[in-house]
Amino acid sequence: MARQYETVIGLEVHVELATETKIFCGCSTRFGGAPNTHTCPVCTGMPGALPVLNKQVVEYAVAIGLAANCEITRMCKFDRKNYFYPDNPQNYQISQLYLPIARDGYVEIECGDTKKKIRIHEMHMEEDAGKLVHDEWDDTSIVDFNRSGVPLVEIVSEPDMRSADEVLAYLEKLRMIIRYLGASDCKLQEGSMRADVNLSVREMGSREVGTRTEMKNLNSFKAISRAIEGERQRQIELIEGGKAVRQETRRWDDNKEYSYAMRSKEDARDYRYFPEPDLVPIVIDDAWIEKIKERQPEFQDAKLIRYRREYGIPEYDAQIITSSRHMAELFEKASDVCKKPKKVSNWLMVETLRLLKEHGMEPEELRFSPENLAKLVELSEAGSINSSVAKEVFEKMFSEDIDPERYVEEHGLKTVNDEGELNEVIKKVIDSNTQAVSDYQGGKEKALGVLVGQTMKAMKGKADPRRVNQRLKELLS
């Protein structure tokens, strides 16, 4: 029988924090911008420039640490990590090694039907590097320091994951927590969330950990999944062929679906870490932690329990809606206004998700207000507009946050509830569709659809199709 292998995976996740300014200077953190325009002597590593810590960075880091069940380090320090690279103008990075801001936490993930805790070894604060832009045409590289000094937290897990699915569940959970906190937008494509995957394989049942490699350059969930499968296969083939896996950093090429060795993996001692002499230690007292705790939002788990009690919507819907804080707040506010949580949930679950997918948007980017969603539910429930008009109004609301009441009024979309007018139209339709009428009366149920369609057309869509159906049946019986 072929030998069975187990994959052992740990993750280092870098998250760019959503502060207005950089970690040690007042430059803007905004993504993009002309190269080297968000820079100053501090973040371009000029001699003599001194860093000043941005307090908001510490608050976000503590908030994330608390949400991930970590111990917060009451006195933490920064350290210098020394290395040369062209995107790193100081020739060192200010990071944390000896006293990181948070330690010993966990997040709970759900994979299939099983729940599992992924332990967090530690979390530290550090500054981001600049960006090298390689111009292959000119065979040159240029450097943009706009990103240099953007605050990061690095979240280091224990090697507790065993499959790509668990890795993705863990990343999704982290991303959800951090987005709930508003601490980052966590966009893998834009690099505000980046994951390095440490992976080794071992024979099933073995307690020993194999030699691991680290994979970088993974900028989508799909790439992460493929890289894990590719690297697992590569290591198994080496072992089966009697060769050793080398401890190294590898770069994943998603187009070729293969990873390439970049360099042998460094140890902490290679970086000659030492305490950062230009920054004082940070003392985090109980009062500060309490203040941050008080500001923590209600997270998904708590919301799910409350939703069961207060709104009575299906569990599946509640899961999806609460996976985004913004969508959850839309749902809660709209439901409070119109008192019809099931209807609100339907709009979010069907039309909203459909349009989000169609536009390639995230729920955080939804721009319509809960008040307008509540108005649409009310219009539709009162029978003032029929379902196809409601969908049309919703699309308008989705893209421009229009006021549904005003929009329906201005565009004359209200359902005509004038029985006299409806009767007249129906009679005309009956008179001019003799074939369909005799078909229906001869027992062809389907023919009624033709008559309903004709009536709706004559009413320019502003009739309630159920009412039309009923009235036609009455008149033809």
**Can you give the binding site for Zn ion, defined by CB under 5 A?**
25, 27, 40, 42-43
> Distance between CA atoms of 211 and 227, rounded to whole angstroms?
17
Closest by CA to 156, choosing from 128, 191, 127, 195, is 195
User: Smaller CB distance to Zn ion: residue 20 or 421?
Assistant: 20
CB of 351 to Zn ion, least distance (A): 44
User: Smaller CB distance to Zn ion: residue 25 or 374?
Assistant: 25
CB of 94 to Zn ion, least distance (A): 13
CB of 148 to Zn ion, least distance (A): 8
C-alpha distances out from residue 264 to 8, 79, 215, 260, Å: 20, 23, 12, 12
CB of 77 to Zn ion, least distance (A): 22
C-alpha distances out from residue 19 to 60, 75, 233, 279, Å: 9, 22, 40, 19
Asked whether 323 and 300 are in contact (CB, 8 A), the reply is yes
User: Smaller CB distance to Zn ion: residue 25 or 429?
Assistant: 25
> Nearest 5°: phi and psi at 312?
60, 35
Asked whether 449 and 468 are in contact (CB, 8 A), the reply is no
CB of 51 to Zn ion, least distance (A): 10
> Distance between CA atoms of 325 and 282, rounded to whole angstroms?
31
User: Smaller CB distance to Zn ion: residue 49 or 337?
Assistant: 49
User: Smaller CB distance to Zn ion: residue 43 or 188?
Assistant: 43
CB of 24 to Zn ion, least distance (A): 8
User: Smaller CB distance to Zn ion: residue 17 or 43?
Assistant: 43
CB of 26 to Zn ion, least distance (A): 7
CB of 95 to Zn ion, least distance (A): 18
C-alpha atoms less than 13 angstroms from C-alpha of 96 in its C-beta half-sphere: 27
Reading the block at residue 191, the tokens are 């690099």
> Distance between CA atoms of 419 and 415, rounded to whole angstroms?
11
Q: In a 10 Å sphere around its CB, with 0-12 CB exposed, 13-18 middle and 19+ buried, how is residue 109 labelled? A: buried
User: Smaller CB distance to Zn ion: residue 25 or 195?
Assistant: 25
User: Smaller CB distance to Zn ion: residue 111 or 279?
Assistant: 279
C-alpha distances out from residue 410 to 94, 388, 405, Å: 59, 17, 9
Asked whether 132 and 143 are in contact (CB, 8 A), the reply is yes
